[in-house]
């Protein structure tokens, strides 16, 4: 008899996690609690309830987490201008700590002994789910079926489902998608299929949220983003909730061919992986945030943020959202945003996000000093001579010592 009496499963209602429900029941003889999160993936989540009920699940959680996702995870990440390996806006990575958090909270509410997920043993998600779970509940048992069972393909999963009368649409499940996909309000990712050949161009009909830049409108779209403490609170003067902001930017960005990315990235487990991403709203958010910071942040604060960002990005990518070092960095990042207030005007045109204006009551841009016209004595240009000589002092000393830079 298994020591595991109850398991909380991150459940999508698809083939893999439906098989996992039955496999857990067969293998562990335990009670299952399913948790299905609506993170803005664009698919109806309520049908998961009927499927879970058909397999005898009594405790079913289906939750709309879109506002919490953007407010407490996406927005804090964008305050840091976070980009992994120079390109990736971390759409999949940032969703995992929220799912891990709810898995643990539901386990505590229901008295479950363990949690379970459908991530494979090759990817990053297993690390992200489990690091988060252990940080929030150190003694929790984690069951990762892909690391335990002998079901190794879609065909063996379907055979298992048919043998045990698991309620799935076999016609739909049998139509193998050429891509492994993940979607939420921040992005859609595509992996597998032709993308496994790094020389093969991605297929145009793969993309779901964005038109190609070639087919985008010939007329530019202008946006005005209003920021308060580093977060967008209004678009074109209309105040919006965090999830509504991102939903709107996804729509307008997608219509203008913005946010496509073809990337080979380094997974935490050690392998390289090619993925394509659609992040229209996030691409706009990054451009806008850097623009408002350009006039409101002190130079050294801005430069320090840029130095810290790659570390912060790696922590999120590798699953350390709940680590003390990420929380420490977040405190620093959030403190830097106290004066990041104002409005940025952007032009969207055929895949491009172009900054055309920025203004703020907290602006450090002083026209009296920076002007090319007569500054009325606001800046004494003679001061530059001593500034330059002092900064050159160490190099002058070295040269006088005979150290040659030119061979």
Task: Supply the residues annotated as catalytic.
Answer: 16, 96, 125, 180
For residue 353 the two structure tokens come to 């996000």
* E runs forming strands in 167-310: 180-183, 188-191, 221-228, 231-235, 238-239, 260-266, 272-278
Q: State residue 78 phi and psi, 5-degree precision.
A: -75, -20
Cα angle value 82/83/84 (rounded, 5°):
125
Name which of 181, 96, 92 is nearest 136 in CA terms: 96
Q: Are strands 141-143 and 114-116 parallel, antiparallel or unpaired?
A: parallel
In contact, 114 and 140? CB cutoff 8 Å = yes
The number of helix segments (H) and strand segments (E) in the chain equals: 14, 14
Q: Are strands 221-228 and 342-349 parallel, antiparallel or unpaired?
A: antiparallel
Q: Using DSSP, state whether 180 is helix, strand or coil.
A: strand
Burial class (CB within 10 angstroms; exposed 0-12, middle 13-18, buried 19+) of 308: middle
* Long-range own/partner contacts, residues 266-272 (CB < 8 A, 24 or more apart): 266/85, 267/123, 267/124, 268/124, 268/127, 268/317, 268/318, 268/319, 269/122, 269/123, 269/124, 269/127, 271/122
Q: What are the distances in angstroms from CA 218 to CA 101, 213, 254, 400?
A: 44, 10, 14, 60
Which residues are CB-contacts of 403 (< 8 A; sequence separation ≥ 6)?
none
Q: What is the DSSP string of 318-378?
A: HT-TTSHHHHHHHHHHHHHTTT--EEEEEEEETTEEEEEEEE-TT----HHHH-SS--TTS
Using only C-alpha atoms, the chain has a radius of gyration, in whole angstroms, of: 25
Q: CA 10, CA 33: separation in Å to the nearest integer?
A: 9
């Amino acid at each position: 008899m298994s020591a595991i009496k109850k398991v909380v499963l991150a459940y999508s209602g698809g083939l893999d996690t439906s098989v996992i429900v039955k496999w857990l029941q067969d293998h562990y003889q335990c009670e299952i609690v399913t948790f299905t999160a609506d993170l803005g993936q664009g698919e109806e989540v309520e049908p998961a309830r009927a499927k879970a009920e058909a397999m005898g699940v009594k405790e079913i959680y289906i939750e709309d987490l879109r506002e919490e996702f953007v407010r407490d995870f996406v927005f804090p990440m964008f305050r840091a201008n976070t980009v992994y390996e120079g390109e990736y806006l971390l759409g999949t990575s940032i969703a995992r700590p929220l799912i891990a958090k709810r898995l643990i909270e539901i386990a505590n509410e229901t008295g479950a002994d363990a949690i379970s997920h459908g991530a494979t043993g090759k990817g990053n998600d297993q690390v992200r789910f489990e690091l988060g779970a252990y940080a929030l509940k150190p003694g929790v048992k984690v069951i990762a079926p892909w690391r335990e069972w002998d079901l190794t393909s879609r065909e063996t999963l379907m055979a298992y489902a048919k043998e045990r009368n698991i309620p799935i649409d076999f016609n739909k499940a049998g139509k193998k998608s050429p891509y492994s996909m993940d979607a939420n309000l921040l992005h859609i990712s595509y992996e597998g299929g032709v993308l496994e050949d790094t020389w093969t161009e991605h297929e145009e009909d793969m993309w779901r949220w964005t038109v190609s830049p070639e087919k985008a409108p010939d007329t530019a779209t202008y946006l005005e983003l209003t920021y308060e403490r580093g977060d967008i609170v209004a678009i074109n003067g209309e105040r919006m909730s965090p999830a509504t902001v991102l939903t709107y930017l996804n729509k307008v960005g997608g219509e203008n061919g913005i946010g496509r990315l073809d990337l080979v990235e380094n997974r935490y487990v050690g392998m390289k992986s090619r993925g394509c991403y659609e992040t229209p709203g996030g691409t706009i958010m990054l451009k806008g945030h850097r623009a408002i910071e350009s006039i409101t942040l002190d130079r050294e604060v801005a430069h320090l943020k840029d130095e810290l960002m790659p570390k912060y990005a790696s922590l999120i990518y590798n699953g350390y959202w709940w680590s003390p070092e990420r929380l420490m960095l977040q405190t620093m990042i959030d403190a830097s945003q106290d004066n990041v207030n104002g409005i940025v005007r952007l032009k969207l045109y055929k895949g491009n996000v172009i900054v055309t204006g920025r203004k703020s009551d907290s602006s450090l841009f002083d026209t009296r000093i920076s002007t090319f016209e007569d500054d009325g004595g606001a800046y004494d240009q003679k001061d530059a001579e001593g500034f330059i000589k002092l900064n050159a002092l160490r190099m002058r000393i070295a040269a006088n010592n005979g150290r040659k830079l030119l061979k």
